[in-house]
Every structure is written in structure tokens, then in C-alpha cells.
């Protein structure tokens, strides 16, 4: 996977309502790329043979 660019990080921030500017932009970009690299290294044997399960969330607004 290619590294995220600062432009990518700005776009992702806007998508979740965050405005990321320098000097934080450089650090956030570096940290996100490090996280992606670390996650890419997690590859247990046989993982490609596991079928994904659907995520079922509880109804919103119902308190028990």
C-alpha cells in the first residue's frame, strides 16, 4: 500500500469534521502511515480463508 500524502490526510480529516493544519499535519500524516504499516504486517496464517462476518449493530435509541 502506498503512503498517505498530506492531501489525503486533509481529505480524511474533512470527512470526519476535523481541520488538520501544519504543524500537526506532518505529525498526523507520519503517525497514520506508521499505523497502516503496522497493521499491514499483521497477517496470521490462513486469514485469507476466513469468511468475513456481517457487523450487526443494536438499534439506536432503545434503552433496556
pTM recorded for the entire structure: 0.65
Rounded CA gap, 1 and 54, in Å? Answer: 25
For the stretch 27-32, contacts whose Cβ atoms lie closer than 8 Å and that sit 24 or more positions apart, written own/partner, are 29/4, 29/5, 32/4
Asked if 25 and 9 touch (Cβ cutoff 8 Å), the reply is yes
Looking at the predicted structure, is the pLDDT value of residue 45 above 90? no
What is the average pLDDT across 14-32? 95
Going through 1-64 in order, the beta strands assigned E by DSSP cover none
Residue 64 in this model has a pLDDT that exceeds 60 = no
Amino acid at each position: 500500500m502506498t503512503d498517505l500524502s498530506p492531501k489525503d490526510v486533509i481529505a480524511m480529516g474533512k470527512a470526519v469534521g476535523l481541520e488538520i493544519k501544519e504543524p500537526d499535519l506532518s505529525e498526523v500524516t507520519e503517525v497514520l502511515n506508521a499505523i497502516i504499516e503496522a497493521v499491514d504486517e499483521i497477517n496470521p496464517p490462513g486469514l485469507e480463508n476466513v469468511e468475513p462476518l456481517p457487523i450487526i449493530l443494536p438499534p439506536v435509541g432503545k434503552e433496556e
